[in-house]
């Protein structure tokens, strides 16, 4: 009895924690970090879908295309993750040289292209000086620039570019003006070059170019060696530049062969219809279970509600990206969760008709139904694993989402059917309902008294 109370207390704590996770818009969990709402996929939230094609014409002879593609995927993942896009899909098309990129929440395709495809080549240029030692200007009054070069550690003349940067670039705010700056740090060779270049350009402008575009031209006030800052950028531009510089240049250039801006309005409409279908189905299931199976059916309804809370909490904590296919899998998993309770209830009826007491019939019903529940759910989990593998092989993110959502639902349904239903039914039977057979058997179903006596004599 004491063990049963501990189990009920454990279930109650799980339900309270689950409700907190589901209802609180921003949840902070140790080791998991912050969770803000449910993660919605591209089809529900809207965003950008891109198909990129790699150009290997400039690849060095003998270089592996496979390694180059792996490098491209790795760099894109790094850029997207650091930029803060939630639950992106980045994967290669099997057997090809194309990459699928799905960015939920990114509505501007140009922004997505800049984030993914640009090489972010950073260059430093010196001003061309006239006869008076002043910066020479063109007919429009713009300063004329030349590459900033000097002798490196190996005794060769090298142009100073972003290739010499350490991968610790970050955005900082000026304490006086609150303007964003990109703070960078050179490696040993870059620091050597930067020291020489700034030394000869004191009180002269030093141009900073990004992809051949002048973004800043600060005047050098002193000799700088290891560290520096890039000014003149907006907040988003500074953030994007920092991500690109830290990720590095792409091994091969990419071109867009397909682009699609997915509208969130269609996804919202689909989500609302799915929720209506799910709620309608849930109500019908609850009514059927309660009317047909009576007390065990009512208990299974309570267990089903507990199951729903726990599944949604897990979806939020993992987090699971809910696509339309994932929502469909969740609705299907509700029916599968009820299926286990149907098996248990039918087994209990068989035991009651055989002459056992209500308490004995309940325990025997759970024990006899367990093997069927275990085998059916294991078959479902194996199917989910196969679906996940196929979805991963053929780049079908919707199939992967369906498989993951269904697998989590099936796993939790076993806990709901066996542990939650059993504990709740024991609680009700402990309150004196064990003698009322009408709460377990329907009209026309009778308890075999003869069988009960024979069982007792045996």
| Confidence at 145, pLDDT banded by 50, 70, 90 | very high
| pLDDT value of position 126 | 92
pLDDT at 216 over 80: no
Mean pLDDT over residues 75-102, rounded?
A: 72
Q: What is the predicted pLDDT for the residue at 4? A: 63
pLDDT at 80 over 70: yes
Confidence of residue 86 (pLDDT cuts 50, 70, 90): low
Most confident of 25-39, 223-237, 296-310: 296-310
pLDDT at 453 over 50: no
Q: What is the structure's pLDDT at 389?
A: 86
pLDDT value at residue 432:
66
Per residue in 151-192, pLDDT (tens digit) is 877 778 888 887 788 878 888 988 888 888 888 888 888 888
User: Average pLDDT of 137-142?
Assistant: 85
Binned at pLDDT 50, 70 and 90, residue 385 comes out as very high
pLDDT tens for 386-429 read: 988 887 776 666 788 788 888 988 888 888 888 888 888 888 77
Residue 400: predicted pLDDT: 80
Weakest mean pLDDT among 24-38, 96-110, 156-170, 269-283: 24-38
Residue 449's pLDDT band (cuts 50, 70, 90):
very low
pLDDT at 455 over 50: no
Assign 3-class secondary structure to the chain.
CHHHHHHHHHHHHHHHHHHHHHHCCEEEECCCEEEECCEECHHHHCEEEEEEEECCCCCCCCCCHHHHHHHHHHHHHHHHHHHCCCCCEEEECCCCCEEEEEEECCCCHHHHHHHHHCCCCEEEEEECECCCCCECECCCCCECEEECEEECCCCCEEECEHHHECCCCEEEECCCCCCEEEEEEECHHHHHHHHHHHHCCECCEEEEEECCEEEECCEECCCCCCEEEECCCCHHHHHHHHHHHHHCCCCCCEEEEEEEEECHHHHHHHHHHHHHHHHHHHHHHHHHHHHHHHHHHHHHHHHHHHHHHHHHHHHHHCCCEECHHHHHHHHHHHHHHHHHHHHHHHHHHHHHHCCCCHHHHHHHHHHHHHHHHHHHHHHHHHHHHHHHHHHHHCCCHHHHHHHHHHHHHHHHHHHHHHHHHHHHHHHHHCCCHHHCHHHCCCCCCCCCHHHHHHHHHC
pLDDT, residue 386, reads 93
Q: What is the reported pLDDT for 228?
A: 80
Range with the lowest mean pLDDT among 31-35, 69-73, 354-358? 31-35
Domains and CATH numbers, the chain: 2-39+264-457 (1.20.1640.10), 47-119+253-261 (3.30.70.3400), 122-247 (3.30.1360.200)
Confidence label for 381 from pLDDT (cuts 50, 70 and 90): very high
Higher pLDDT, 293 or 274: 293
**Range with the poorest average pLDDT among 63-67, 127-131, 199-203, 368-372:** 63-67
Mean per-residue pLDDT for 138-158?
Answer: 85
Determine what percent of the chain is predicted with pLDDT higher than 70: 79
Least confident of 73-77, 157-161, 374-378: 73-77
User: Residue 236 pLDDT more than 70?
Assistant: yes
- pLDDT 10s digits, 341-353: 888 888 888 888 8
Percent of the chain with pLDDT over 90: 3
* pLDDT at residue 379, rounded to an integer: 92
For the ranges 51-55, 57-61, 102-106, 422-426, which has the lowest average pLDDT? Answer: 57-61
Lowest-pLDDT choice from 73-87, 305-319, 396-410? 73-87
**pLDDT, average across residues 90-107:** 77
The pLDDT of residue 383 = 92
Q: What pLDDT sits at residue 60?
A: 64
Q: Is the model's pLDDT at 250 over the cut of 70? A: no
Q: Would the pLDDT of 382 be above 90?
A: yes
Q: Give 452's pLDDT tier (boundaries 50, 70, 90).
A: very low
């Amino acid at each position: 009895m004491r063990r049963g109370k501990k189990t009920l207390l454990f279930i109650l704590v799980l339900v309270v924690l689950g409700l907190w996770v589901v209802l609180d818009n921003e949840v902070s969990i140790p080791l998991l970090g912050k969770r803000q709402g449910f993660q919605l996929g591209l089809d529900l939230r809207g965003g950008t879908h891109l198909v990129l094609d790699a150009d290997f014409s400039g690849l060095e002879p003998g270089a592996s295309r496979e390694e180059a593609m792996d490098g491209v995927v790795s760099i894109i993942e790094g850029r997207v993750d650091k930029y803060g896009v939630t639950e992106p899909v980045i994967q290669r098309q099997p057997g090809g040289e194309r990459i699928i990129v799905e960015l939920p929440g990114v509505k501007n395709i140009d922004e997505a292209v800049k984030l993914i495809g640009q090489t972010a080549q950073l260059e430093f240029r010196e001003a061309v000086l006239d006869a008076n030692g002043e910066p020479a200007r063109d007919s429009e009054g713009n300063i004329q620039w030349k590459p900033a070069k000097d002798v490196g550690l190996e005794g060769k003349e090298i142009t100073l570019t972003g290739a010499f940067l350490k991968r610790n670039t970050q955005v900082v705010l000026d304490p006086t003006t609150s303007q964003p700056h990109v703070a960078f740090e050179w490696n040993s060779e870059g620091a050597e070059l930067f020291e020489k270049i700034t030394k000869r350009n004191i009180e002269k402008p030093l141009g900073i170019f990004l992809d051949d575009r002048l973004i800043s031209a600060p005047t050098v006030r002193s000799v700088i060696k290891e560290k520096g800052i890039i000014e003149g950028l907006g907040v988003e531009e500074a953030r994007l530049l920092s991500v690109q510089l830290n990720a590095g240049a792409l091994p091969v250039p990419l071109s867009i062969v397909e682009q699609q801006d997915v509208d969130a309005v269609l996804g919202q409409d689909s989500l609302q219809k799915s929720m209506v279908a799910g709620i309608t189905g849930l109500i019908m299931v609850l009514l059927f279970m309660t009317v047909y199976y009576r007390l065990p059916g009512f208990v299974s309804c309570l267990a089903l509600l507990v199951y729903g809370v726990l599944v949604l909490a897990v979806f939020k904590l993992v987090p699971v990206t809910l696509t339309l296919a994932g929502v469909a899998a969740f609705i299907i998993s509700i029916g599968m969760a009820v299926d286990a309770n149907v098996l248990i209830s039918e087994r209990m009826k068989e035991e009651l008709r055989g002459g056992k007491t209500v308490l004995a019939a309940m325990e025997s019903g759970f024990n006899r139904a367990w093997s069927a529940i275990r085998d059916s759910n294991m078959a479902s989990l194996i199917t989910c694993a196969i679906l996940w593998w196929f979805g991963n092989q053929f780049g079908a993110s919707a199939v992967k989402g369906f498989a993951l959502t269904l697998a989590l639902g099936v796993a939790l349904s076993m806990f709901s059917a066996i542990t939650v239903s059993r504990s709740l039914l024991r609680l009700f039977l402990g309150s004196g309902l064990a003698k009322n057979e009408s709460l377990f058997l329907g009209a026309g179903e009778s308890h075999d008294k003869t069988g009960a006596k024979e069982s007792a004599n045996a």
